[in-house]
Amino acid sequence: NAGVTQTPKFQVLKTGQSMTLQCAQDMNHNSMYWYRQDPGMGLRLIYYSASEGTTDKGEVPNGYNVSRLNKREFSLRLESAAPSQTSVYFCASSGGHGVNTEAFFGQGTRLTVV
């Protein structure tokens, strides 16, 4: 079982460049999430998708957009990268509303914006 797969694993961007982080899960989960991890701050929710066709803002959505492409895939886009977006990004998935299953996390994408 692959679980949650993120690509790429590492990326260096210049300020102002754009990129899309990809995430796919093979567990038939309804809900998917994007978090960022910064030193001393734990993980913070950027956006989530409770089910296919819906997306909602989390705690720190500014500077990001998301697309729930289908039930398996949930992408995160940085339209104009800034140094403040240097972070480790994690995608996660879990059972949908009313189904209480744990969240499964991908391996992370380490992004550096210079």
Partner 1 sequence: GDSVTQMEGPVTLSEEAFLTINCTYTATGYPSLFWYVQYPGEGLQLLLKATKADDKGSNKGFEATYRKETTSFHLEKGSVQVSDSAVYFCALSPGGTSYGKLTFGQGTILTVHP
User: Cβ closer to partner 1: 48 or 64?
Assistant: 48
Pairs from 71-75 (Cβ < 8 Å, separation ≥ 24): 71/28, 71/30, 72/24, 72/25, 72/26, 73/22, 73/23, 73/24, 74/23, 74/24, 74/32, 74/33, 74/34, 74/49, 75/20, 75/21, 75/22, 75/23
User: Cβ closer to partner 1: 85 or 94?
Assistant: 94
Candidate list 11, 50, 69, 71; residue touching partner 1; CB under 8 A: 50
User: Cβ closer to partner 1: 17 or 27?
Assistant: 27
Q: Whose CA is closest to 85, among 50, 44, 24?
A: 44
User: Cβ closer to partner 1: 69 or 103?
Assistant: 103
Minimum CB–partner distance for residue 27 and partner 1 (Å): 12
Contact status: 46 vs partner 1 (CB under 8 A): no
The footprint of partner 1 (CB under 8 A) covers 4, 30-33, 35, 40-45, 48, 50, 58, 90, 92-103, 105-108
